[in-house]
Chain A
């Protein structure tokens, strides 16, 4: 998808092209590209896209923010842009101002729950938190007696066990041992951990769809260059059909992710139909990541299996992103329960509601 009408996405695209060229990053072993890239993103106001101006953010629309995420997915870059955007969005739900610097959110998995104690401290463990080791601050949803609260926490106040995800991006365990937050506010009515996870799922869906677009581009280009049996492999019908399937999976991911992003951007209430949009996006994008990554690797053969080639930057990230903010299995169970509870004759009206 080209976002010609979207100046924010164009800015992101230009920054990634200038400062995060995949080949350069792939060769650079000490990560010296990260600081200038983050600085440029910050100067452009992108990490705080979803933070209104009164909370010290850029006040970009939800829709433009989602398009930044699909650009970020296409670039497959290892900086916490999506995480900081999500954190800023979460804080803004409770009118908490966003600080400068990298942020992430917790919890990032439906298996974890953080507790707000009576003295205003937070206790609990959050696993698989992306980029916690890089973050200065963590935006948190914690539940206490009076319901859910949103808090801004200094990352250095938490005990962080470093971990790595499939693509070697930080995926850490964050321990909150009666941590006192910098700011604490009640969440708006109806907002809870599930709302954060749904939004996180939607963010990852955008990124996966973007990564699939790049996988498709890399695979198509490679098939037009690589010669085997005295012809370009793009001329073999078996290869063509595989690439057509990859285009199909990419399309499914794009359609599901952009529809869900659009539905969320319209400010519709979080009803069953909006839940369907977000859950379906995460489920279908994750399925597409599996099928798409397999085809891209098949087309590139051994070269695509090397550290040296850039393909893994996209395939492994797309596969890793499946696990964040609820896997496709988790959301499928939740969606299945919802559908069953509504009953057979209410399934079609749900599907046809938009």
Chain B
């Protein structure tokens, strides 16, 4: 065998089940109080600072981080449970999701102590929103073609250029971005980019929202004009962002959000077909549930391997590759199965509305956070093909 793929049969430990009950009870209270409607996934883009703070009060942000930064020193598997329950309920997680999953861990690893002490506790309280500045007008999947420049100045750096497709930039307090600090070298075209922490509330930044085909405004163009970033906001090693960016990927790529984005249409289909489905509906639902179960087992397995200190980079990319394709196809499969559902099904209108939204959402799922093509390149490298 060239490559040994591992998907250990990881089980969520007993303490997760108590936690799951608490999260479900909390979400049920929030739904009852009208904070959000689980049947309206299209509102998931809305900002909800109060909900965010209540999630923080429960101790469900920064769950795996050290207590001295406001974290809770719990396991990745416990965080997994919170993430999947929030996602399945279509809870408004936008304000805190990126900070909790990705930006916080980057700061933990690379930020100076005083910045960690300042920002991490606020993430844990659900007070701050982060965005990630990667893509530029002429550099998307080819991350290391980024041109937005950081020029050394007294006590810091001046940023000029623009980022694009930046999710949540319109509501973000901070951005973690890569900027060019040196030209690439002949030997290493990935050289010369540096990671910075950007305070979005400081001058020299213009955020222009971009409408998406769903009608939502999730992503933005962000223009930097002589925006000043102080020296202590540089994260990690100068010119070496490429080393840092790739090590985070296993965390980013294998979570439950990578296959549950359109899950709601499956629940609604089951509701619409009722307790005694015909053979066609039963088979269709059975296959989809089997595929869903398998995706979740793969994803939990990667979470468990991460918890155990392993680095399942290829396995994580595989989870995202087949998970995002699955969630992209799901609304289309559900549409086919719903074709003969009786118009009198009580949730017929809801299912129709959800399908419309999910089908519009579907194309982005295999693009955001690493396209299918990029992921397959990583998998191919893992197989020893390049």
A residues neighboring B (CB under 8 Å): 1-2, 213-214, 216-217, 220-221, 223-224, 234-235, 237, 239-241, 243-245, 247-252, 254-256, 258-259, 261-263, 276-277, 279-280, 283-284, 287, 328-329, 331-337, 339-341, 343-345, 347-348, 351-352, 354
Given A247-B5, A337-B277 in contact, is the A332-B298 Cβ separation under 8 Å?
A: no
Where chain B touches its partner, the secondary structure class is: helix
List 26 A–B pairs whose Cβ atoms lie within 8 Å, in order of A's numbering.
Answer: A213-B5, A214-B1, A221-B2, A245-B321, A247-B5, A251-B322, A254-B5, A255-B297, A256-B290, A259-B297, A277-B293, A280-B289, A332-B282, A332-B286, A333-B283, A340-B281, A340-B285, A344-B268, A344-B270, A344-B271, A345-B271, A347-B289, A348-B263, A351-B292, A351-B296, A352-B84
In the bound complex, do residue A339 and residue B294 qualify as a contact, i.e. CB atoms below 8 Å apart?
no
Contact of B9 among A217, A239, A262 (CB under 8 A): A262
| Contact indicator B376/A331 (Cβ below 8 Å) | no
Query: How many Å lie between the Cα of A354 and that of B17 in the bound state?
Result: 9
Asked if A254 contacts B383 (CB within 8 A), the reply is no
Residues of B within 8 A of A331 (CB): 286, 290
Asked if A339 and B286 make an inter-chain contact with CB atoms under 8 angstroms apart, the answer reads yes
- Measured in the bound complex, the distance between the Cα atoms of B386 and A228 in whole Å is 16
Residues of A within 8 A of B85 (CB): 352
Q: Across the interface, do A339 and B385 meet the contact criterion of CB distance under 8 Å?
A: no
- Size category, B interface: 35 or more
B322 and A248 contact, CB distance less than 8 A: yes
- Cβ-defined partner of A284 (8 Å) among B275, B294, B376: B294
Q: Give chain A residues whose Cβ lies under 8 Å from the Cβ of B122.
A: none
Contacting residues, chain B, for A343 (C-beta < 8 A):
270-271, 275
Q: CB < 8 Å: which of B7, B283, B287 contacts A254?
A: B7
Most buried by B among A223, A237, A333: A333
Residues of B within 8 A of A239 (CB): 385
Do A247 and B379 touch across chains, with their CB atoms under 8 A apart? Answer: yes
Closest A residue to B378 by CB, please name it: A244
Q: Are A216 and B3 in contact (CB under 8 A)?
A: yes
- Flag if B12 contacts A354 (CB, 8 Å): yes
Q: Are A217 and B289 in contact (CB under 8 A)?
A: no
Q: A333-B282, A336-B282, A348-B267 are in contact. Are A220 and B373 (CB under 8 A)?
A: no
In the complex, what distance in Å separates the CA atom of A138 from the CA atom of B157? 79
Indicate whether B6 reaches chain A with its CB closer than 8 angstroms: yes
Q: Is there contact, CB below 8 Å, between B385 and A220?
A: yes
Q: Does the CB pair A340–B292 fall under 8 Å?
A: no
Known interface pairs A243-B385, A283-B286, A340-B276; A347-B7 also in contact (CB < 8 Å): no
- Which of B279, B286, B294 is A256 in contact with, Cβ under 8 Å? B294
